Amino acid sequence: MDNDFFSRIKTLINGNVAAPMVLVALLAMVVVPLPPFMLDLLFSFNIALSLTIMLASIYVLKPLHFAAFPSILLIATLLRLALNVASTRIVLLEGHTGTNAAGNVIEAFGEFVIGGNYTVGFVVFAILVIINFVVVTKGATRIAEVSARFTLDSMPGKQMAIDADLNAGLIDQDEARNRREEIMQEADFYGSMDGASKFVRGDAVAGILILFINIIGGFIIGVAQHDLTFAEAAHNYTLLTIGDGLVAQIPSLLLASAAGLLVTRSTKEQDMGEQIVSQLLKDPKTLAVTSTIIGSMGLIPGMPNVPFLLLAFMGAGGAWLIAQRQKTATQAATQAPAETEIPREQRELDWDDLSPVDPVGLEIGYRLIPLVDKNQGGQLMGRIKGIRKKISQELGFLIPPVHIRDNLDLAPTAYQITLFGVIFGEAEIYPDRMMAINPGQVFGELEGIKSQDPAFGLDAVWIESNQREHAQAQGYTVVDVDTVIATHLSKILQNHAHELLGREEVQQLLDNLSKSTPKLVEGLVPDTIPLGGIQKVLQNLLEENIPVRDIRTIIESISEQAIRNPDPDAITASTRVALSHSIIQHINGIKSDLPIITLDPELEQILLQTLNTTGDTNVSLEPGLAENMHKNLNEVAQRQEMAGESAILVVQAGLRSWIARFIRHSIPSLNVLSYNEIPDNKQIRIVANVGR
């Protein structure tokens, strides 16, 4: 019970009471008179706090690890100013009684530090103010301003670098999110430090003003009100004021030094002492030359020989030790490979020696490296990122990152697109030219290197950049090399999206769906259908260019059909019916009129009998019949395409999947639907009937 009580008290103080209590205490110090003992305690605490802050700035590994410094600096400055007000009140009210009127701390600084001589006190105080205000504070303020400006200016570039690394697969989503948060924190920190440095500078100015106000005010009060002589008033009030100023200026100097140390730190995570030693004493020649110069000065008659020669010997010894350490490290580095090379060859292979293939890869020749190098103005990374985002949004699942690497086995200007290590596309391009693609109707010939568009196989010509407007005027579509590669990649990703949908992606889709409709997903896998069954249905849909964005409707249809018939093809057919509105809109837009192509009833009966007889959906037709059917369907599809209408073949449900596979690659523009996939609100218009 006691532990629980104390933990509650600690939580209450940390969470709700600490900050208001500090502010109220600072306000009370300004308004309520404090006894000398309390002033001694608070002045001692102020010095300890300032020393703690400075040491924390030294030992922190990275400036962002001390992100609370601007707020702490403001609180420490307010504490010091409140103490100045409290001590000023006591100095002016009780200064006539002696130099111990404001407590022992102020008296000690007035008597011990400056020997009771207020002239010396003035000089020491002036030196501290000059060091604080002119040197440390001014420099720290300038560094904070420059750091804040350059940090804000570099934010877009850093964000783009993170996006490029994420797109290239070098980091994952969590790492990218952490890096973005670190960039935002860095910008906030240096922006706050820019303002916080003004607190220290203002505090130094306030210390100067308070000094003169206390001396002048105390002299007037001591002489006019307490009948002190000129010498007594000058002695008492000046020593008290100088002591008070020194007590305030030393913590102020510590805080200014802490601010300067923090803003001059490198962003690398490294202890300051280690950083300084490793960089300052990295080369032994630095100490060797320095020792030689110092030793030469120590040999000059009349110079302090002992200190100079002692330092020279110490520096020479340090240089020798550093040189020996580096020599040992170099020998160990050169010998280590020779010692470990043989055991590495002799050890058995393990699973760590096998690197998994990339789901999506882009291998490029060495002359195409500038296309993906941001430092050389490469834009391909951004294009690929945009394509990946667009396809992911259209299809409804996250396309894997594209891993880009150079391949010296390729021609210098060639590239390959791979899926799981298998080459699905390759081409050779000309990075210093542009591709003029013939869309089907042009008005002239172009001078250049004849080629083909790698994405769609259209005739094309590689032309000089200055021919772009001329080519466009003749009807050519002109694109740069980035667009050529990006379009080719986009085409391959869309055509093979079903191969990229793995079980991890399916599970992620279910996890996201469970956040909005938990009951729909609950008990689905594996009670109703295994995860592989859902994957197969989704792959079937993607293979026929049906997005899986409406995952809720798809899962509802799968859960209903899987109870009756767990066959993936049957579930796919049922799911297509549930998605009929989406399928028709994807093919024909929002038009109410739906032009369709049908099969001759006699041909349908032949196909149905063949399928029912064999019971195999992969059955092959008699060659002559298959050839005529393919020829007729191709002609009708081309007529529909020339007329600007969609080519839609509607057949019986039992034939749909087989015919779709039959013409999938040879007539990609022809969409195959079953009669029950046509919504009731569509008006059917038969444009052709295909027979034997």
- Omega prior to 526 cis, within 30 of 0: yes
CB 86 within 8 A of CB 29: yes
Assess whether 405 and 533 both reside in one domain. Answer: no
Assess whether 625 and 516 both reside in one domain. Answer: no
Considering the entire predicted model, what is its pTM? 0.52
Q: Which of 481, 498, 515 is the last residue of a domain?
A: 498
Amino acid at the residue 182: E
Does residue 613 lie within any of the structural domains?
A: yes
Assess whether 52 and 130 both reside in one domain. Answer: yes
CATH number at residue 558: 1.10.8.540
Assess whether 49 and 177 both reside in one domain. Answer: yes
What pLDDT, on the 0 to 100 scale, is given for residue 348?
67
Report helix angle 568-578 to 580-588, nearest 10.
70
Domain hosting residue 369, numbered range: 360-498
What pLDDT, on the 0 to 100 scale, is given for residue 184?
77
CB 186 within 8 A of CB 267: yes
| Look-up of token digits 């009998």 | 609
Assess whether 549 and 463 both reside in one domain. Answer: no
H helix or E strand, kind and range, residue 364: strand 360-364
CATH number at residue 470: 3.40.30.60
Does residue 338 lie within any of the structural domains?
A: no
Assess whether 291 and 259 both reside in one domain. Answer: no
Distances (CA, A) of 511 to 400, 504, 557, 558: 18, 10, 18, 16
Distances (CA, A) of 299 to 290, 311, 318: 14, 12, 20
Residue spans of the chain under pLDDT 50: 1, 12-13, 15, 336-344
Assess whether 160 and 75 both reside in one domain. Answer: yes
Q: Which of 265, 292, 311 is the last residue of a domain?
A: 265
Does residue 61 lie within any of the structural domains?
A: yes
Counting beta carbons within 10 angstroms of the beta carbon of residue 252, is it exposed (0 to 12), middle (13 to 18) or buried (19 or more)?
buried
Assess whether 652 and 620 both reside in one domain. Answer: yes
Buried b (16+ CB within 10 A) or exposed e, 130-167: ebbbeebbbbbbebbbebbeebeeeeeebeeebebbbb
Does residue 7 lie within any of the structural domains?
A: no
Beta bridge partners of 364: 406, 415
**Concatenated DSSP letters for 176-202?**
HHHHHHHHHHHHHHHHHHHHHHHHHHH
Does residue 336 lie within any of the structural domains?
A: no
CATH number at residue 690: 3.40.50.12790
CB 414 within 8 A of CB 427: yes
Assess whether 42 and 81 both reside in one domain. Answer: yes
Q: Which of 265, 294, 316 is the last residue of a domain?
A: 265
Does residue 347 lie within any of the structural domains?
A: no
Does residue 162 lie within any of the structural domains?
A: yes
Assess whether 58 and 198 both reside in one domain. Answer: yes
Does residue 350 lie within any of the structural domains?
A: no
**Concatenated DSSP letters for 585-627?**
HHHHTT-SEEEEEEE-HHHHHHHHHHHHHH--TT----HHHHH
Q: Number of structural domains, the chain? A: 5
State residue 672 phi and psi, 5-degree precision.
-110, 120
Assess whether 117 and 237 both reside in one domain. Answer: yes
Assess whether 411 and 556 both reside in one domain. Answer: no
CB 605 within 8 A of CB 599: no
